[in-house]
Amino acid sequence: MNSTQAQQTSGTSTHRARDGGVDLGTTEDTPTLMLVFEAIRQISDAGGEPTRERIVAMTGLKPTTVDDRIKVLRGEGMISPHKQCYRPLHQHVAAQAVSCTAMPNGVYKIEKGDEVMTLVPAEARQLAPMLAGKALEASALERVQEMETRMIEMAQQLREVDRRYRALKAVKLDGGAQQPLALTF
């Protein structure tokens, strides 16, 4: 490796600084550095935003471990140097327009930019399961993003209800006398 020297011995790896000195990680039973990078790459390739929470959920690693590995990946120049941006620096070339046309004679024309590929039905059947996985992955990622947005909204609502409850409880404890309740939603 160029700036991080990973020494592989019997399934463990140690990550060191560019100068070969200071240890930036720990000796690991599994290569957590590559687990974190793969999670970032997969989330990014699927069109998602690789957040710390998603990386933790995808890898099953502790948040502190993920933070340490992100520091190493940044130092390696493998991900963006900007805080809170965990995008791989070496990404694929820009996507071109892609289309698939079912022809009347049963063949399929796959077009990507100026390239055209003709698939007979047997070839299309071989390709379909491979692409179906990508379609399911994109759909699942979209649902996860929708759920995260909804969860954030619900958490904000819960905090507001809790704040109002505490305020009403404080009024009840302080006043002793009945005061009209004003609840607004």
Q: Is the predicted pLDDT of residue 103 greater than 90, yes or no?
A: yes
- Strand pairing class (108-112; 12-14): unpaired
Query: What CA–CA distance (Å, rounded) separates 148 from 154?
Result: 10
For the full predicted model, state whether its pTM sits above 0.75.
no
Is the sign of the CA dihedral 50, 56, 57, 59 positive or negative? positive
pLDDT at 37: 87
- The amino acid at 133: G
pLDDT in tens, 144-180: 778 877 888 888 899 999 999 998 888 888 765 555 5
Which of helix, strand or coil describes residue 109? strand
pLDDT in tens, 117-145: 999 999 988 888 888 887 787 787 778 77
Q: Element (H or E) spanning 168, and its range?
A: helix 121-175
The rounded distance, in Å, linking the Cα atoms of 141 and 108 is 28
